[in-house]
């Protein structure tokens, strides 16, 4: 199905789910100045998180000083979906063990133990996005490159880190703001020539950003790309990949992964860089750069099915039932 059909189907599904919830008011919420049935009032966003851990999530956000996404009251929110799918691995040991096994299976690694799982991770000092990427503004969870989900683990006695960008109905990984904020500079960004000297040519250097201090475009990328990989459809994953490379370079982690977790029905997401020459992010992203980090993608459906097949407790079974009822994953 095309993107519009998929998106409308998700709206229809979320509205139907909302009608069954007695704890959410019938009042339409507002986004971008308009009221919609798939948006709840802003102060009720946490009611759209699984009730078995929504209070724990609120406490976690408070204790960790994390700002939840401004669009969390939208039932299509990928931030809420990420919480619904993965926050249980933070607060439930059985889910954490299942997630460990799932990551071993998907990434092809042997994890001794998971040390910590975070939402919106910001590492301290020299490994922070403020220092590594030149992003002085923002706080944890907003206006900074903070991975939706991050897993610190031990592999063969060595520390590793997995950064995850989590998506639901988004059509892309968004465009670089230079495209909108500086039209003349943006024209150069969509030319192949810029990628040959991108470390010096990127307009974001003038904003103090350091994304290209950590990334090197490969020969494959030079041949395939029609412009900067961040220009159309890839901005968020360029930033996360740059963060991963910087952390590996300057931190104590021996293995760092940059990953994407997405709804496998959203086929358009993996094609969002077509206009700059990349037909499939899934097949081509890792080949665009000379990486020292690793890259991987999984579908949310794979995680849900893994828990469905391997989870033995009531907690896991109730969670699968909720997710399948809510998202049909």
Maximum CA extent, the chain: 58
Distance between CA atoms of residues 26 and 9, nearest Å:
21
First-to-last alpha carbon distance for the chain, in angstroms, is 16
Give yes or no for residue 186 having a pLDDT over 80. Answer: no
Give yes or no for residue 187 having a pLDDT over 90. Answer: no
For the stretch 13-32, pLDDT in tens is 999 999 999 999 999 999 98
Query: Would you say 149 and 119 are in contact if contact means Cβ atoms under 8 Å apart?
Result: yes
Q: Rounded mean pLDDT of 278-293?
A: 98
Q: Which one has a higher pLDDT value, 163 or 195? A: 163
Please report the pLDDT score of residue 280 as a whole number.
Answer: 98
Give yes or no for residue 209 having a pLDDT over 80. Answer: yes
Give yes or no for residue 138 having a pLDDT over 90. Answer: no
The single residue listed with the structure tokens 């940059």 is 258
Give yes or no for residue 192 having a pLDDT over 90. Answer: no
Q: Which one has a higher pLDDT value, 142 or 286? A: 286
Mean pLDDT of all residues in the chain?
A: 95
Gyration radius of the chain over CA positions = 20
What residues form DSSP beta bridges with 30? 35
Q: Give percent above pLDDT 70 in the chain.
A: 100
Residues 6+ apart with CB under 8 A from 33: none
The two tokens of residue 264 are: 């496998």
Distance between CA atoms of residues 147 and 171, nearest Å:
18
> What is the DSSP code (8-state) at residue 292?
S
Q: Rounded mean pLDDT of 73-88?
A: 98
């Amino acid at each position: 199905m095309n993107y519009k059909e998929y998106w409308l189907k998700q709206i229809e599904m979320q509205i139907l789910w909302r009608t069954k919830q007695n704890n959410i008011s019938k009042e339409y919420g507002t986004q971008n100045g308009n009221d919609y049935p798939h948006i709840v009032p802003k102060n009720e966003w946490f009611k759209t998180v699984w009730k078995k851990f929504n209070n724990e999530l609120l406490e976690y956000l408070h204790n960790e000083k994390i700002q939840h996404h401004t669009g969390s009251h939208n039932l299509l929110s990928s931030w809420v979906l990420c919480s619904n799918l993965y926050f249980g691995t933070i607060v439930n040991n059985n889910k954490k063990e299942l997630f460990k096994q799932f990551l071993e299976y998907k990434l092809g690694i042997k994890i001794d133990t998971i040390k910590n799982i975070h939402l919106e991770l910001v590492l301290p000092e020299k490994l922070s996005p403020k220092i590594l990427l030149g992003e002085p503004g923002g706080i944890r969870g907003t206006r900074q490159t903070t991975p939706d989900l991050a897993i610190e683990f031990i592999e063969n006695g060595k520390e590793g880190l997995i950064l995850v960008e989590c998506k639901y109905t988004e059509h892309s990984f968004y465009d670089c703001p230079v495209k909108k904020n500086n039209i003349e500079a943006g024209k150069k960004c969509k030319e192949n020539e810029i990628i040959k000297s991108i470390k010096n040519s990127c307009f974001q250097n003038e904003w103090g950003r350091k994304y290209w201090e950590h990334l090197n475009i490969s020969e494959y990328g030079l041949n395939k790309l029609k412009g900067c990989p961040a220009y159309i459809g890839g901005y968020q994953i360029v930033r996360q990949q740059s963060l991963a490379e910087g952390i590996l370079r300057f931190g104590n982690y021996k293995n760092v992964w940059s990953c994407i977790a997405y709804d496998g029905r959203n086929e358009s997401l993996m094609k969002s860089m077509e206009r700059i020459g990349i037909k499939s992010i899934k097949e081509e992203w890792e080949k665009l750069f000379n990486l020292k980090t690793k890259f991987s993608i999984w579908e949310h459906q794979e995680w849900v099915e893994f828990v469905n097949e391997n989870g033995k407790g009531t907690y896991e079974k109730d969670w699968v039932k909720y997710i399948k009822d809510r998202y049909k994953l």
